[in-house]
């Protein structure tokens, strides 16, 4: 009984708030806030329950037949939990942040309605037990994100929205075609049994893989399908956090993970000769993104290109096919989320409080907003891969995995990427901590009162702490790394 109920409940904790919030009149901000936070908290609680259950070997499954051959299937496995935990945790924080960020701006019912819907879609993606279910929620995500991207309603937002839709819907079409093509040969594909695809025509399989990964690559911002992501920077900061850390980009990367691990299986991917091209594409994206980031002087755009680069670690890890690399990729799913959301929270807060949008405007920010900048610094160092930060853990496992898989060139990619990361993050830290503020008028407010609204400060501090902890306590079983190892152990049958 409970087995089928829990996934539905987890989904409902964001779906219901979405529906309720849509119907709320604009001035009812108290109620809206309460509904938002209650939903987010409930979701986190349910996720914790499931975590305990799955660790103990329980499975949760909900099957909703639509028409013969088309079932909606929610199934909670370890990989699903990895993602759903991340998104549930970050959603809570993002909600707090967003409430503070938007203040008393217009159209909040619409914003938070779609915001919750977005998370519902992400939850659905995480819990999907079959390809077609995944696709359904993947589309829902696309559609519920669009109103958030264009939230401001100015010409720039609308243009970004158009670009976002153009890319993602095109990607979806490719994904759908790939899924249907595959299923027309194999029957409905669920994420449990391997070996279903064995014996199918290799050309067909390659074509399907290409279509699916290509489609997913749009959201995962694989070069050259990435151009929507920097453009979407016009959206409000919480939306950027959502795009980059909680939902959209992650959904793409998660999808690639599912396709490689649970649809084809790493063995088949290698057998078909698909791993290396994917690894090359991912590596190229990593380097290209970093290079572009280096060239940006707008903070948010720099962060955006950094995402393009960082997310591809996940694909890279999976493409290398060894269990060690796969662990590295998977754990980066979480680590990158924690670090990148911190960065965006901070960037948003800096923009709100100091009106700092460009790199040179950060001068002296450390003195004026020490907590925010501290969090920013932790995350940035993590991104660079400074030990013992979370980013270092990911890169370590990736590097080891590359060696194990006999692809030493990947080490060069990792090293180059780290150098580039350092090259575009360190100057920021330098300006913030070591340079005097540009405008001389010194803030007369006391320490900690300058930071602005606590709702803008607390979330990045927490995520930064989490990122730090993920690195420091990586060896524990319930750390992201521990969990990723569990997943890979189950998937590789180790």
Which residues of the shown chain bind other proteins in the complex (CB under 8 A)? 22, 65-70, 106-107, 110, 132, 135-136, 139-140, 142-143, 146-147, 150, 152-155, 158, 161-162, 165, 169-170, 172-173, 176-177, 180-181, 183-184
- Closer to other proteins by CB, 166 or 387: give it: 166
Question: Whole-angstrom Cα distance, residue 353 to residue 450?
Answer: 8
Pick 61 or 183: Cβ nearer other proteins: 183
Nearer to other proteins, 146 or 264 (CB): 146
CB of 473 to other proteins, least distance (A): 39
Q: Answer whether 82's CB lies under 8 Å from 334's CB.
A: yes
| CB neighbour class for 69 (10 Å; exposed up to 12, middle 13-18, buried from 19) | exposed
Strand partners of residue 298: 358
Nearer to other proteins, 150 or 253 (CB): 150
Residue 67 CB, nearest approach to other proteins (Å): 5
134 versus 392: smaller Cβ distance to other proteins: 134
Least CB distance to other proteins at residue 130 (A): 13
Are the C-beta atoms of residues 266 and 280 closer than 8 Å to each other?
Answer: no
Whole-angstrom distance, CA of residue 20 vs CA of residue 24: 6
CB of 366 to other proteins, least distance (A): 35
CA 428 to chain centre: 23
Instruction: Supply the minimum distance, in Å, between the C-beta of residue 341 and other proteins.
Output: 26
User: For other proteins, which is the closer residue by CB, 58 or 173?
Assistant: 173
Cα 297 to Cα 95: distance, rounded to the nearest angstrom: 28
What values do phi and psi take at 128, rounded to 5? -55, 135
Nearer to other proteins, 149 or 470 (CB): 149
Q: How far is the CB of 458 from other proteins (least distance, A)?
A: 30
- Asked if the bond preceding 388 is cis, omega within 30° of 0, the reply is yes
Task: Report, in Å, the least distance between residue 135 CB and other proteins.
Answer: 7
CB nearer to other proteins: pick between 188 and 416 = 188
Rounded to 10 degrees, the C-alpha dihedral 350/353/358/363 comes to: -80
Quote the radius of gyration of the chain (alpha carbons, Å).
Answer: 21
| CB of 136 or CB of 249, closer to other proteins | 136
Dist. CA 219–CA 247, nearest whole Å: 10
Min CB(188)–other proteins separation in Å: 10
- Give 435's contacts (C-beta < 8 A, 6+ positions apart): 363, 364
Alpha helices in 24-154 (DSSP H): 29-55, 78-102, 108-127, 131-149
CA–CA distance from 277 to each of 90, 282, 289 (Å)? 32, 8, 18
Nearest-angstrom CA–CA distance, 242 and 198: 38
The residues near 427 (Cβ < 8 Å, ≥ 6 apart) are 359
Smallest distance from other proteins to CB 45, Å? 26
Q: How far is the CB of 142 from other proteins (least distance, A)?
A: 8
DSSP string, 476-492: STTSHHHHHHHHHHHHH
To other proteins, the closest distance from the beta carbon of 139 in angstroms equals 5
Specify the residue, 172 or 372, whose C-beta has the smaller distance to other proteins: 172
Let me know: does 466 contact 336? Beta carbons within 8 Å.
Answer: no
Residue among 139 and 271 whose Cβ is closer to other proteins: 139
């Amino acid at each position: 009984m409970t087995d089928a109920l829990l996934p539905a409940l987890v989904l409902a904790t964001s779906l219901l708030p979405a529906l309720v919030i849509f119907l709320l009149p604009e001035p009812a901000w108290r109620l809206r806030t309460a509904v938002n936070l209650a939903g987010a908290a409930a979701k986190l609680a349910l996720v914790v329950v499931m975590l305990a259950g799955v660790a103990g070997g329980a499975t949760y499954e909900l099957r909703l037949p639509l028409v013969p051959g088309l079932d909606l299937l929610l199934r909670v496995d370890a990989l699903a939990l990895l993602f759903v935990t991340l998104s549930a945790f970050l959603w809570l924080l993002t909600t707090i942040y967003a409430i503070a960020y938007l203040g008393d701006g217009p159209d909040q019912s619409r914003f938070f309605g779609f915001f919750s819907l977005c998370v519902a879609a992400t939850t659905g993606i995480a819990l999907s037990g079959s390809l077609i279910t995944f696709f359904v929620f993947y589309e829902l995500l696309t559609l519920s994100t669009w109103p958030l991207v264009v939230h401001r309603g100015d010409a720039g937002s609308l243009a970004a929205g158009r670009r976002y839709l153009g890319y993602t819907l095109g990607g979806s079409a490719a994904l759908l075609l790939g899924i249907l093509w595959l299923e027309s040969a194999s029957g409905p594909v669920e994420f449990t049994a391997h070996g279903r695809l064995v014996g199918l025509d290799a050309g067909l399989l390659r074509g399907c893989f290409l279509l699916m990964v290509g489609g997913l690559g749009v959201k995962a911002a694989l070069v050259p399908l990435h151009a929507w992501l920097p453009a979407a920077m016009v959206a409000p900061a919480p939306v950027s956090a959502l795009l980059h850390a909680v939902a959209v980009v992650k959904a793409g990367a998660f999808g690639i993970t599912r396709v490689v691990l649970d649809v084809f299986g790493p063995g088949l991917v290698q057998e078909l000769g698909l791993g290396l091209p994917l690894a090359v594409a991912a590596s190229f994206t990593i380097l290209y993104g970093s290079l572009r980031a280096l060239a940006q002087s707008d903070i948010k755009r720099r962060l955006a290109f950094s995402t393009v680069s960082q997310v591809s670690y996940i694909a890279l890890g999976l493409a290398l096919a060894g269990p060690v690399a796969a662990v590295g990729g998977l754990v980066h799913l979480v680590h990158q989320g924690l670090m990148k959301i911190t960065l965006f929270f901070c960037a948003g807060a800096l923009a709100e409080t100091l009106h700092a949008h460009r790199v040179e405007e950060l001068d002296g920010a450390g003195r004026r907003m020490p907590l925010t900048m501290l969090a920013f610094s932790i995350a940035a160092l993590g991104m660079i891969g400074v030990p013992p930060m979370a980013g270092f853990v990911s890169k370590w496992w990736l590097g080891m995995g590359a060696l194990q898989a006999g692809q030493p060139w990947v080490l060069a990619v990792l090293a180059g990427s780290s150098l580039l990361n350092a090259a575009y993050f360190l100057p920021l830290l330098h300006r913030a901590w070591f340079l005097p503020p540009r405008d001389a008028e010194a803030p007369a407010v006391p320490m900690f009162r300058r930071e602005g609204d606590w709702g803008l400060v607390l979330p990045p501090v927490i995520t930064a702490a989490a990122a730090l902890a993920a690195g420091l306590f990586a060896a524990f079983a319930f750390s992201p790394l521990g969990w990723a190892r569990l997943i890979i152990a189950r998937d590789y049958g180790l």
